[in-house]
Amino acid sequence: MPMTVPAGYDRTRLAACARSIADAGRALAAQGWTPATSSNFSERIDAGHVAITISGRDKGRLGEDDVMVVDLDGKAVGTDARPSAETALHTQIYRRFAEAGAVLHTHSRTQTVASRLYAAAGVVRLQGWELQKAITGYTTHESVLELPVFPNTQHMPELTARVDAWLDAGRPLYAYLIEGHGIYTWGRDMAETRRHLEALEFLLACELDLRRLSA
């Protein structure tokens, strides 16, 4: 079924967003990163609106009718459907990063285990890995890529306040983990965001292997 197109919106543009979200969902689910309806995805439509997954849908089998429009306050536009329970985290990223064009959130085992292991430290410090260069802005393996780990909560304003505090302290942010939960990352478009997610998954797996092997 096609998605609800709010009045004044370009159906072709919305359909393209829904397709790239569904394609990402299929690929990420095939990797086992979106178990049991977890995860959520979005893509910017224009300066004030994003296409985002409807809450509770199977993210590996998304169609056009599993995606809806919200404004940057997370308010549904032109539909009664309920956007992702974590919409506030997406809209915060679009508000804080003008260049962000897509956001992906997944729950892989690697991301989830790493988020528990590094929760006490509050950060994963990635350094010395060539694949750090897959993150836009990183040109060498030598610089430190900090991935904060925020405590999990069902109360989105608490989480967004922690993200705001990190950014307001002037610390670079490319992605973050939520303890016992998963990862959020973004990029200028869906292709870049998928590359960031894949690189971060690989880097976290390397860190876990290193800890396991040097224990």
Binding-site positions for Zn(2+): 105, 107
185 touches ligand L4RZE5RM (CB under 6 A): no
Give me the phi and psi of 207, to 5 degrees please.
-60, -45
CB of 41 to ligand L4RZE5RM, least distance (A): 9
109 DSSP assignment: H
Stretch that binds ligand L4RZE5RM, among 24-32, 38-46, 70-78, 120-128 (CB under 6 A): 38-46
Q: What angle do CA 55, 57, 63 make, to 5 degrees?
A: 115
Nearer to ligand L4RZE5RM, 132 or 185 (CB): 185
CB of 37 to ligand L4RZE5RM, least distance (A): 5
Cα 211 to Cα 91: distance, rounded to the nearest angstrom = 35
Do 167 and 100 meet the contact criterion of CB atoms below 8 Å apart? no
191 touches ligand L4RZE5RM (CB under 6 A): no
In sequence order, the β-bridge partners of residue 70 are 50, 76
- Which spans of this chain sit near ligand L4RZE5RM (rule: CB under 6 A)? 36-40, 53, 55-56, 84-86, 105
